Structure 1
Amino acid sequence: MKILLVYPLIREFMVPSMPPLGLAYIAASLKEAGHEIKVVDLNGDRGNGLSYLTKLLSNESFGMIGVSSIITQYKRVKELGELIKSIVPHTPLILGGPGPTSIPELYLKNCSADIVCMGEGEEAVKEIADYIQNKMPLELCKGIIFKKQDGSYVNTGKRSQIKDINTIKFPAWEMFYTIKVYLENYLFKHGRKKGMSILSTRGCPGECNYCMCNFGRMLRMRTAENIFSEIEALVRKYDIEHIHFIDDTFITTVKRVREISDFFKHEFRSLTWSANVRVNFIKPDVLKIMADSNCVSLAYGIESGSPTVLDYMKKGFTAVQASNAIKWTREAGISMTTYFMIGMPCETKETVRETIDFCKQNLVGGEFFFVTPIPGAELYEYAKENKIINDEDVYMEHVGEVRDFLVNLTNMSNEELFAIKENAELEIKEHLGRHNITVKQSVRKNPRELVHSLPKF
């Protein structure tokens, strides 16, 4: 069956820099099943992608169309669904990815979709294609919600997760004519010419209340051999120079870190690499192993220096553990990025002061992201229960980047929250400047203007 896969526009204010990994996995899975696949990447091909898509829809016949997206692409998915159905109203439209998984009914209702795939899609999408091709009842396919002819919805229930993720086919980047754009503009390439994302684990045992935990709480790991087979292919095909592990939980055991580091050290000495890491999984000996194998940077989601806020977030670590991780990372000679947010319901001037002091003492930070409730997270339910979010469709249309301000969950006024954020950033930046540390400014709008232009949800 001929299948069309589409990736919507995202972060139009910057060059395409994060390849659509999820859709590449789906393309590989469908290709393995024998289907004829075409991919249109509207984010990577911003000049001609839309006209190319329109031409394909008008001139070719597809058995089904799939769109993969994250939460911040909701508005684009709505627009894309309307366009697709205006040209091919009877072709089944399937939505998947973290966005539709987080709030499937809303996507089914508002995005012109026929089917929403919930959770991991590699196995489910093959079944969906078979059911459509062979005209079998969709009720038999687990892990989807679909719209019947009478307009009613059918939820087939949760699908079992893929237990052995080593069996999953590597992402089919050869099907993306836009791949060069992503490699050369990769967000985390750390000064190298070409970089690429690798997902070495799925799932996260953390319980952070602001995270939807897309792959569930059960941690599943790929073997070092499987990971490096993928890296070998990327080096051979695209001559990449940097790998970034986008896992929620990269460090699982010392043994696994040692195996992965040994591969970099002995087989790919010319490559540099980086990873997202939890501070409570960090130890000096582990960092030394990583540094010796060309690990050049780690990203820590510390979020707050206040014990009160960390406990509220259910981060699972303390400010002391975070300080130790920062200290040990510096001692290992690895650079780091630290992320902080402001605006949890328990946030006060006092808790912000604790975070300021933490950043100054540890010489990190400099910019705060606003807390944004996202579907699938405990914090999102809190916002709905407290009537902070009333119209989910309108809210989702406005969910954008982490630097944007959408809702105020605190007891402070909007003006107070903005003033505290600005003053905190200024104080930290001035302190870091005295230690010759420069903080990049990435705010895209005047924060003061945002206070008076917030939409009603």
Structure 2
Amino acid sequence: MKLTAVLFPAIHGEKDLPLGIIYIAQKLYELGFNVKIVDLNLFLDKGEVDLRDLRRVVEQADLIGFSSYRSTIQADASIMWSIKDFMKDEAIMICGGWGPTLNPDLYLEVCPADIMVRGVHMQALEILELLTRFIRGEIAIEQVKGITARVGDTLLNTPLPMVPAEIPRVKWELIDRFGVDPHQYVEEGTILVPVLGALAPCPRYLSGMGCIYCSMARIVSEYQKIYGNSFHLVKERLARFDHDRVVDDIK
């Protein structure tokens, strides 16, 4: 049976779509999911979202995934509780990102998510593979790496998987299937970012061997192909590099 996953980026008040969400959607697609990305940030300046449309999307899902920054936990938790009301009983809600990685216990306390996915999104790719096997009844939850979850009265913390030796390429041709239009993120100088999401997981970068620039160059060259004549707007956004927000989150 084909499973359906719906992914929600963090409610951070900016019209940016972290590249990590695309990687995760791509991985779930490869694992046999129908994948839909619902970016509520695009509706923040347009008033309320049509809850009937949202309900229709969520009711079909076997897996609901949220990303969250520690600084956006209140907004994210509020949305999660609203979404929970629309979910079918057997569906699973997961949450990953800066916040759940740094404070998984706190997130389990205030959010209705069943499982916290820890680590950078490159580690999440292996975690999602194991999580899918758990959802399909092939392995026990204790065998899923990189998660924090309540199992009965016990708090389960499993070890993180290794970061992969190579960062996979973004399969841009799949983005339409996920309901994402990259050109929506050119408005007001905002784009599909942060590029940092494509850099941080690189093993050579983490070990201080300095491949940050070649990683940047690869992603920027891909942006040139995707955005074409709009790339001059994209350059303005890349120049700012999301530095301030990322540094604030790290603090």
CA contact (8 A) 1:203 1:218 kept: no
Q: Map residues 168-247 of structure 1 onto 2, 5 A cutoff.
A: 168-170=169-171, 173-174=175-176, 175-177=178-180, 179-187=182-190, 197-199=194-196, 201-202=199-200, 217-219=206-208, 221=211, 224=214, 230-239=219-228, 240-242=230-232
Superposed displacement of residue 10, structure 1: 2.0
The match for 1:125 is 128
1:331-362 CA deviation, whole Å, 9 max, x = no partner?
Answer: xxxxxxxx7xxxxxxxxxxxxxxxxxxxxxxx
The match for 1:61 is 60
CA contact (8 A) 2:194 2:241 kept: no
Tell me: CA distance 1:4–1:273, structure 2 relative to 1, closer, same or farther (3 Å). Answer: same
**Matched AA of 2:37:** V
CA contact (8 A) 1:30 1:37 kept: yes
Bigger proportion of residues as helix: 2
1:276-328 CA deviation, whole Å, 9 max, x = no partner?
Answer: xxxxxxxxxxxxxxxxxxxxx57798xxxxxxxxxxxxxxxxxxxxxxxxxxx
TM-score (norm 1): 0.44
> In the aligned structure 2, how far is the partner of 1:143 from the partner of 1:50?
35
Determine which of 8, 15, 20 is the counterpart of 1:22. 20
> In the aligned structure 2, how far is the partner of 1:119 from the partner of 1:274?
26
TM-score (norm 2): 0.76
CA contact (8 A) 1:71 1:99 kept: yes
> In the aligned structure 2, how far is the partner of 1:184 from the partner of 1:54?
27
> In the aligned structure 2, how far is the partner of 1:130 from the partner of 1:168?
24
Superposed displacement of residue 173, structure 1: 4.3
The match for 2:81 is 82
Stretches of structure 1 that go unaligned for 5 or more consecutive residues are 188-193, 205-215, 245-271, 276-296, 302-338, 340-368, 378-457
Stretches of structure 2 that go unaligned for 5 or more consecutive residues are none
> In the aligned structure 2, how far is the partner of 1:217 from the partner of 1:238?
29
Superposed displacement of residue 30, structure 1: 1.4
Tell me: CA distance 1:162–1:222, structure 2 relative to 1, closer, same or farther (3 Å). Answer: farther
The match for 2:31 is 33
Tell me: CA distance 1:50–1:27, structure 2 relative to 1, closer, same or farther (3 Å). Answer: farther
> In the aligned structure 1, how far is the partner of 2:54 from the partner of 2:139?
28
The match for 2:12 is 10
1:372-405 CA deviation, whole Å, 9 max, x = no partner?
Answer: 7x6x76xxxxxxxxxxxxxxxxxxxxxxxxxxxx
Superposed displacement of residue 169, structure 1: 3.7
The ranges of structure 1 where at least 4 consecutive aligned residues each deviate by more than 6 angstroms after the TM superposition are 298-301
Superposed displacement of residue 237, structure 1: 3.4
CA contact (8 A) 1:196 1:242 kept: no
CA contact (8 A) 2:146 2:158 kept: yes
Q: Map residues 191-340 of structure 1 onto 2, 5 A cutoff.
A: 197-199=194-196, 201-202=199-200, 217-219=206-208, 221=211, 224=214, 230-239=219-228, 240-242=230-232, 272=235, 297=239
Identity fraction in percent? 23
> In the aligned structure 2, how far is the partner of 1:154 from the partner of 1:126?
18
Superposed displacement of residue 183, structure 1: 1.6
CA contact (8 A) 1:68 1:97 kept: yes
Q: Tell which structure's C-alpha radius of gyration is larger.
A: 1
Residue-pair matches, total:
236
The match for 1:99 is 99
**Matched AA of 1:91:** A
Pairwise CA RMSD: 3.7
Superposed displacement of residue 139, structure 1: 0.6
Question: Per chain length, whose mean CA-contact separation is higher, i.e. which structure has more relative contact order (CA < 8 Å, sep 6+)?
Answer: 2
**Matched AA of 1:6:** F
